Amino acid sequence: MMQNILLNFPHCDDFDDHSFVGIWHESGKLDFQKYWEFEREVFELANEQSASELPRDIAWPIMRIFSYIMTGIQAHYNVNDGFELLDLEDNELHEFRERFQCVVEGFFKGSMPENTDFELMNPLMQNT
C-alpha cells in the first residue's frame, strides 16, 4: 500500500529519482502527475489508519517528505539558496503548498480535506 510513498522517500531502497520528490530535487520541477499519485496513496492510507495509532513506519516517510518539500519551497524564495523551482508561477506554488499542507495535516489529524475544497483538484480522485 505504501508503494508511491516509498518511491518518494529518499531514506529507503525503493526511492526513485523519477518520483515526485526525485524530480523536484533533481530538476526543480513539480510533476503534478507524480504528485497526484503520491497524494492519492496518502488519502488511501488515511482511510485505513487511525490517527491515534499511526505506525511510525507509515508516519515517518510522510512526515519526512512533507518536511523536505516545505524546505524546498522556502529555499525557492531565498535568494541566498541555490534551489529554484522552474516552470511554476507563484500562485501555482501557493495553491500547491496549501493543498499539500492540508493533505498531510489531515492525514495526521485523521480528517482528510475534500478534493473539492481546493481550486487545484487531484484528477485521480473523483467526488472526494
Q: Does any domain span residue 67?
A: yes
pLDDT tens, residue by residue, 62-97: 999 999 999 999 999 999 999 999 999 999 999 999
Residue 42: count of CB within 10 angstroms of its CB: 21
pLDDT surpasses 60 at 128: no
128 occurs within a structural domain = no
Measured distance CA(63)–CA(87) in Å, rounded: 26
Quote the domain boundaries for residue 55: 3-117
Q: State the Cα angle at 109 between 106 and 115, rounded to 5°.
A: 20
Look at residue 38 and tell me if it is in a domain. Answer: yes
Domain count for the chain, please give it: 1
Is 124 within the bounds of a domain?
Answer: no
Would you say residue 109 lies in a domain? yes
Domain-embedded: residue 23: yes
Answer yes or no: is pLDDT of 127 > 80.
Answer: no
